[in-house]
Amino acid sequence: MTGRFANIIVDISHEKVDRPFQYRIPEALEGQLEVGMAVMIPFGLGNKRIKGYVMEITDRAEYDEHKLKAVDSIVKDGVSAQSDSMKLAGWIRENYGSTMIAALKTVLPVKRKLKQVVRKTIVCKVDTDTAAASAEEFAKKHQNAKARLMHELARQPALPHTLVTGKLNVTAQTIQALEKAGFIEVQAEGAYRKVLPENIAAINNWQKKQLSEHQRAIVDSIMQDFKADVRRTYLIHGVTGSGKTEVYMELIEQMMDEGRQAIMLIPEIALTYQTLVRFYRRFGDRVSVMNSRLSAGERSDQYERAARGDIDIMIGPRSALFTPFERLGLVIIDEEHESSYKSESMPKYHAREVAGELCRMKNASLVLGSATPSIESYYRAKMGSIKLFTLKERLAGGQLPQVYVEDLRSELKSGNRSIFSRRLYGLINDRLKKGEQTILFLNRRGYAGFVSCRACGHVMKCPHCDVSLSEHTDRYRNMSRLVCHYCGFSMQGVTNCPQCGSKYILGFRAGTQQIEELLHREFPSARVLRMDADTTKSKDSYEQILSQFANEEADILVGTQMIVKGHDFAKVTLVGILAADMSLHAGDYRAGERTFQLLTQAAGRAGRSTLPGEVVIQTYQPEHYAVVHAANQDYEHFFAEEIAYRDLMMYPPVAHMMAVLVLSDDEKAGAVQAQALAARVKQQFDDKRLVMIGPTEACIGKINDVYRYIFYIKHREYQILTAVKDALEQTIHAMQWNTDSVQFDFDPMNTY
């Protein structure tokens, strides 16, 4: 790329410098700079050397060219952004509100190139029987080192080089000789760090599945569009086990035949060894994976391999979306309803939407898949902008479980104050006798201290927002207040239920630990495993607990939402959902959706094999539509009721919502700032259809001594919200506030 000047964005996240600065390209760097490259530049009065990214190279000087400073150098190990990534960063900045540098860092998940390492593997080139036979031959000839190695390879067809020369004590000459004779091959793991699990190369007993008629129809339809140059978004709605992954793989393969590459997003928690093996079997070295467990070096290598076109498929969580594929043709988002696809730090982008933009830029197709599609995607499918496919049957056998909904109110009436309903208690006992396994699921997601009546199920709600009020305890005065997370409405805590007068109205508190203790007391012979944030702190503990349970080292697994994902346990025939209500009252508009998803998924854990399964859903609100439809595995009816509620209350996706979070070290200043921003909106947007909630103190009013204020804006048109955001950014700029002090969140997943 030629040109004498470079417009560079500096690596400082601040509103004041959130624009490109122009530099002269010195002779020494002529012809070497490229858009996206990381460079060092002198900046500010002291001409301190800082990092920046080249946004544009041009022949046009915007200022007196003699006054322009010169680019200092190219960052040697810098990862350069491709021009598409630059464009995507610009789009993210525009749509979610952040500085350009923050957006740029989002699309560059790898910060710098790291030196590659060489890792050698010794792979057996003959089949197991031949390897064993030759080991004996060598032994007879007293060629003991060769015998040792071949013997080991007969048991395990790929061994790390270090193990062979170390523990097995085989010399380099011996290895060479065996390689020459065709017994083995030494594979230098591309000078790249290996990221697929050890031994995965040895897995080769694989046969391509014949797609069912329904699966075939989906693949054909998408590929026909693709070949006719039609690009769309598709949604595959299919229960777990209905064959979505097979469809994804077939699509990827056909895209590769078209010379295109694919990105597949999977929530990290569902990215299991089994999934990787399936992809690796089919695509071998053309596939790679990104996840948070990779070291910086491993990540850097995968990024490089993708940029060089050495791989065609990238699998990973949210950030894998930014894999720099030149020939991207397909993006798949599995479990598209998962909230982990939304970034929780600035810019708060949603991978589904960014994927849409990326596909537009790259002329690629976007495929979403889920057993419980997000209300957003299903709504778009209903409106016709997404093409919907449905897969109804489980392919690998296993029937849908029998579901019981147990009313905890009537349990109380009949004197049962235990966490376990009588039915659940009886069924746990039954499983212990039969030697089958039970999963107990405590729904704590979005747990927000809602207050409900144990006698009649009445929940204290905000009169303005139709979401549950949260209990905040005032320790000094020993009394509680009930607060709305959206609008700040608050009232004194109640001592009697306003509906039935019962005094059993309280905040719901129970933890997995209490349940574990209770199980030990009630079922002393049962072996219990617990999985929650506490027991999975150390590395691998998550997988460890799951594999212990899979090996039937325990009768009961108690856990939070972590346990409902992915894994199939053949012996699990009972799933108990202890308090389905918890997530119903998270105090935000997605509570119903989240509950439906969790209950449906949890129920799906029972009876995955030939043994029939049973599910007990315990709740104070058996008549709630999320509970009723989850029990029937009836997505359609759930959707119909949920969308009516969203429409009535002007919540997404029917309307849109933007959260504006103001952060300040100073309690007063923060409040004033939030007020000022809200006032600006009211003054500039005289629009009856614009609804503002707040400003108010955020639900968690202070974190790390930073005070938090929040307001929400709702409007049916998304563009109005981005316009409001732009106006607020201007205000922030004009007032010279720190950019980091205000955060925007479009169609938020959580409350603040």
Sites of contact with ligand ADP (CB under 6 A): 209-212, 215, 238, 240-246, 395-396
Of residues 166 and 501, the one with the C-beta less far from Zn ion = 501
490 touches Zn ion by CB under 5 A: no
Rg (CA), the chain: 29
* Residue (250 or 747) nearer to ligand ADP, CB: 250
- Please give the Cα distance from 444 to 465 (Å, whole number): 22
One of 422, 464, 503, 733 touching Zn ion (CB under 5 A):
464
Q: Which stretch binds Zn ion (CB under 5 A): 263-271, 409-417, 478-486, 590-598?
A: 478-486
208-247 b/e with 16+ CB inside 10 Å = b?
A: eeebbebbeebbeebbeebeeeeeebbbbbbbbbbbbbbb
Q: Say how many C-beta atoms besides its own lie within 10 A of residue 312's C-beta.
A: 23
Distance, CA of 100 to chain centre: 23
Nearer to ligand ADP, 210 or 736 (CB): 210
Give the shortest CB-496-to-Zn ion separation in angstroms. 8
Angle between helices 100-107 and 83-96 (to 10 degrees): 130
Of the pair 184, 487, the CB lying nearest Zn ion is at: 487
500 in contact with Zn ion (CB under 5 A):
yes
Cite the beta strand spans of 36-93 per DSSP E: 38-43, 48-58, 73-74
The least CB distance from residue 236 to ligand ADP, in Å, is: 8
Taking the complex as a whole, the smallest distance from the CB of residue 480 to ligand ADP amounts, in Å, to 44
Partner in contact with 486, chosen from Zn ion, ligand ADP, none, beta carbon below 5 to 8 Å by kind: Zn ion
Quick check: 458 binds Zn ion (CB under 5 A)? yes
Which CB, 251 or 662, lies closer to ligand ADP? 251
Cα distances (Å, whole numbers) of residue 688 to 581, 634, 692, 705, 714: 36, 37, 10, 37, 11
Q: Which residue, 38, 90, 301, is CA-closest to 192?
A: 301
Q: Which is nearer to ligand ADP, 497 or 603 (CB)?
A: 603
Instruction: Tell the smallest beta-carbon distance from residue 205 to ligand ADP (Å).
Output: 13
Q: Which of 333, 409, 397 is nearest to 364 (CA)?
A: 333
240 binds, among ligand ADP, Zn ion, none (CB under 5 to 8 A by kind): ligand ADP
Segment interacting with Zn ion, rule: CB under 5 A, options 251-259, 317-325, 480-488, 641-649 = 480-488
The interface partner of residue 489, options being Zn ion, ligand ADP, none and the CB cut-off 5 to 8 Å by kind, is Zn ion
Are residues 651 and 713 in contact, defined by beta-carbon separation less than 8 angstroms?
Answer: no
How far from the centroid of its chain's Cα atoms is residue 33's Cα? 36
Q: How many C-beta neighbours within 10 Å does residue 649 have? A: 15
Q: How far is the CB of 373 from ligand ADP (least distance, A)?
A: 13
Residue 244 contact partner, candidates ligand ADP, Zn ion, none, CB within 5 to 8 A by sort of partner = ligand ADP
Using the rule CB under 5 A, is 462 a contact of Zn ion?
yes
> Which residue number, 409 or 605, has a Cβ lying nearer to ligand ADP?
605
Biggest alpha carbon–alpha carbon distance for the chain: 93
Among 465, 572, 655, 728, binds Zn ion (CB under 5 A): 465
Placement of tokens 């608050």 in the chain: 490
Residue 589 φ/ψ, nearest 5 degrees: -70, -10
Task: For 59-108, list the strands marked E by DSSP.
Answer: 73-74
The span from the CA of 620 to the CA of 458, in Å, is: 8
Sort strands 365-370 and 233-238 into parallel, antiparallel or unpaired: parallel
Question: Which residue lies nearer to Zn ion by CB, 210 or 414?
Answer: 414
Nearest C-alpha neighbor of 178 from the set 203, 161, 155: 161
733 binds, among ligand ADP, Zn ion, none (CB under 5 to 8 A by kind): none
Are 483 and 469 in contact, with CB atoms under 8 Å apart?
A: yes
Is 243 or 607 the residue whose CB approaches ligand ADP more closely?
A: 243
Instruction: Please identify, using beta-carbon distances, which residue of 249 and 556 lies nearer to ligand ADP.
Output: 249
Q: Is 396 exposed, middle or buried (0-12, 13-18, 19+ CB in 10 A)?
A: exposed
What whole-number distance in Å separates Cα of residue 471 and Cα of residue 222? 49
C-beta closer to Zn ion: residue 287 or 660: 660
Which of Zn ion, ligand ADP, none binds 456 (CB below 5-8 Å, type-dependent)? Answer: Zn ion
Q: Does residue 589 belong to the site contacting Zn ion (CB under 5 A)?
A: no
Cβ 576 vs Cβ 439: under 8 Å: yes
Q: Smallest distance from the beta carbon of 277 to ligand ADP, in angstroms?
A: 12
Least spacing, CB of residue 82 vs ligand ADP, in Å: 31
Tokens 């491709």 — which residue? 82
* Distance, CA of 676 to CA of 515 (rounded, Å): 48
Quick one: which segment of 435-443, 486-494, 671-679, 681-689 binds Zn ion (CB under 5 A)? 486-494
CB of 672 to Zn ion, least distance (A): 23
460 counts as binding Zn ion under rule CB under 5 A: no
In angstroms, what CA-CA distances link 229 with 336, 386, 687?
25, 16, 40
Residue 211 touches which of ligand ADP, Zn ion, none (Cβ within 5-8 Å per kind): ligand ADP
Least distance (Å) between residue 501 CB and ligand ADP: 48
Q: How far is the CB of 574 from ligand ADP (least distance, A)?
A: 22
Report the length, in residues, of the chain: 752
Closest distance of CB 573 from ligand ADP, Å: 19
Two tokens at 211? 């797609």
Comparing CB distances to ligand ADP, the nearer of 362 and 565 is: 565
In terms of Cα–Cα distance, which of 160, 132, 127 is closest to 148? Answer: 132
CB of residue 397 to ligand ADP, shortest distance in Å: 9
Instruction: Supply the minimum distance, in Å, between the C-beta of residue 646 and Zn ion.
Output: 16
The single residue among 130, 165, 390, 499 that binds Zn ion, judged by CB under 5 A, is 499
Partner from ligand ADP, Zn ion, none binding residue 484, C-beta < 5-8 Å depending on class: Zn ion
Structure tokens at 124: 């057996």
How many residues contact Zn ion, by CB under 5 A? 15
Q: How far is the CB of 215 from ligand ADP (least distance, A)?
A: 6
Q: How far is residue 213 from each of residues 195, 222, 325, 391, measured CA to CA in Å? A: 35, 14, 32, 10
Q: Is 510 helix (H, G, I), strand (E, B) or coil?
A: coil
- Binding of Zn ion at residue 459 (CB under 5 A)? no
- Nearest CA to 487 out of 346, 344, 586, 588 is that of 588
- Chosen from Zn ion, ligand ADP, none, partner binding at 246 (C-beta under 5 to 8 Å by type): ligand ADP
Between residues 10 and 251, which has the closer beta carbon with respect to ligand ADP? Answer: 251
The site partner of 458 among Zn ion, ligand ADP, none (C-beta below 5 to 8 Å per kind) is Zn ion
The CA distance from 19 to 231, in Å, is 33
Residue 489 binds Zn ion, judged by CB under 5 A: yes
Q: In this complex, which beta carbon is closest to Zn ion, that of residue 484 or of residue 721?
A: 484
Name which position in 320, 497, 545, 563 contacts Zn ion (CB under 5 A).
497
Token digits of residue 580? 């389905």
Compute the distance between CA of residue 254 and CA of residue 367 in angstroms, rounded to an integer: 14
Tally Cβ neighbours within 10 Å of residue 1. Answer: 14
Residue 179 contacts by C-beta under 8 Å, 6 or more apart in sequence? 185, 186
Which 3-state string (H, E, C) describes 189-233? CCCCCCCCCCCHHHCCCCCCCCCCHHHHHHHHHHHHHHHCCCCCE
- Closer to Zn ion by CB, 256 or 655: give it: 655
Min CB(182)–ligand ADP separation in Å: 35
Shortest Cβ distance from residue 395 to ligand ADP (Å)?
A: 4
Residue from 25, 201, 386, 453 in contact with Zn ion (CB under 5 A): 453
Contact by Cβ (8 Å): 126, 134: yes
Q: Which is nearer to Zn ion, 83 or 502 (CB)?
A: 502
* Interface residues toward Zn ion, by CB under 5 A: 453, 455-456, 458, 462, 464-465, 484, 486-487, 489, 497, 499-500, 502
